[in-house]
A and B are shown apart, each in its own frame.
Chain A
Amino acid sequence: METPRPFSLLCELTYRCPLQCPYCSNPLDFARHKTELDTAEWQRVLTEAEALGVVQANFSGGEPLLRTDAPEIIRHARGLGLYTNLSTGGTLLTEKLAGQLRDAGLDSLQVSIQDADAENSDRMAGGAPSFEKKIRAARLVKSTGFSLTVNVVLQRHNIGRIESIIALAEDLGAERLELANTQFNGWALKNRAALLPARAQVENAAAVARAASERLKGRMEILYVLPDYFEQFPKPCLHGWGHVFLTVAADGTVLPCQTAREIYGLKFDNVRERSLQKIWYESETFRKFRGTDWLPEPCQSCPRREMDFGGCRCQAFLLTGDAAVTDPACSLSPKHHLVAEALAEAGTNEKLIFRNAVESLQVS
């Protein structure tokens, strides 16, 4: 099989963030990776990515707007003809900065909120007041002329307020609302017993999201990311490892996805040492789980193997210690009992470990 070319590059401009969400997708040891790529290095990464076939650059973090050169980096991406999308927590967005991002050619802006109201949203983001700033940012996104996506991670504490969350996104004039059930890797896995919802909550939320999606068709698109612990089959993670996505982390490490550096034993290359092209095509890590030849049983003989590619490699590793086995979220996995056991523990722990540098150094 010919090696596919990536469509999409995620640029995690920084691991620094003013918020401390306990389900952050950054690695647990983020505080140990300090040396960020500079402006010229990011621009070179984007140029190499475009030549490799990337048509879309997503900028996130940490909080990408902590990088004062974000508009400059985005301008370069746009100059290459890439579709550019920025995901921000919103707290640092000013009218001036929104104007700079627009002038840089940014195509789309996504603002995360943690819940439908200030008290709960602020608590989940680590305690400091952020909700009001996020709402101001979302309105600023609209008044600057951007298309607005509101991102919300669903978990035990906010999933019951999904109707209010949808109403808030409508009120903000969002074109898109992404309701993503927590993926239990990294920080979220540390906090799983406190964040995992009950099955009844998940079923209710799915019904509400479905009805709202139907009602708002043509006005606001609702993307409901399924909670894989409650599904029969795993997610088609990344549409396959090293297939259409790649991530460059703040320190230049190149990853198949943003959580992959949690898989111990894999060696990840850095754009400071090798070109993106060489890494994509030649690195052992990108080739390891590419395609379907590597799939273990029961995946190898499964009719769904081209649909889900065995699920998530990070989840397989984090739950079983082996990244090369079937994602335990699959009901056909011999390790599926691990998920059932986790579901039984849902809500048994209320204490959250917030994502900050002190915790990062302690837990990693």
Chain B
Amino acid sequence: MTPIADTSKPRLAGKARLKWDAVREKHLLLYPEGVLVLNKTAHDVIALCDGRRAVAEIVKTLASQYATEANTIDGDVKEILQRLAEKSFVALNE
């Protein structure tokens, strides 16, 4: 798979859905016959994968949420997106 471009617009796949699990107090990603327990960063990234925001914008938004610089989280966000894309949880629309 090619590296994640700043301009691609990731969208959460139709088969997958985010859920706040009030019983376990965890963010989950639900998909056919599977559950992924998410850490906070992974959840925050997925929550912004709406197919309209570009990767660069997602990084910028999260940087401001976390009160940090975009370049300090850029690599982490792209790595999360890469892993999600490999599992087809997000589609990377150019």
Contacts and interface: CB of A to CB of B under 8 A. Distances in A.
B35 A175 contact: no
B88 A175 contact: yes
B19 A108 contact: no
Contact of A108 (B21, B32, B85): B32
Given A56-B30, A108-B32, A221-B88, A147 B14 contact: yes
Contacts of A108: 15, 31-32
B78 to A, nearest CB: 16
Contact of A217 (B15, B17, B86): B86
A175 B15 contact: yes
Contacts of A175: 13-15, 88
Contacts of A110: 32
B17 to A, nearest CB: 6
A147 B85 contact: no
B72 to A, nearest CB: 28
B33 A107 contact: no
A126 interface: no
Contacts of A53: 21, 23-24
B87 to A, nearest CB: 7
B53 to A, nearest CB: 19
A81 interface: yes
A58 B24 CA distance: 20
Nearest to B29: A83
B23 A5 contact: yes
Contacts of B31: 83, 108
Given A176-B32, A221-B87, A55 B15 contact: no
Contact of B32 (A5, A51, A149, A219): A149
A5 B30 CA distance: 16
Interface of B: 1, 13-15, 17, 19, 21, 23-24, 28, 30-33, 35, 85-88, 91-92
14 contacts: A8-B35, A51-B23, A55-B19, A55-B21, A83-B19, A108-B32, A110-B32, A145-B14, A146-B14, A147-B14, A147-B15, A175-B13, A176-B32, A218-B92
Given A5-B24, A218-B91, 13 more contacts: A5-B23, A8-B35, A55-B19, A56-B30, A58-B33, A107-B17, A107-B32, A217-B1, A218-B86, A218-B88, A218-B92, A221-B87, A221-B88
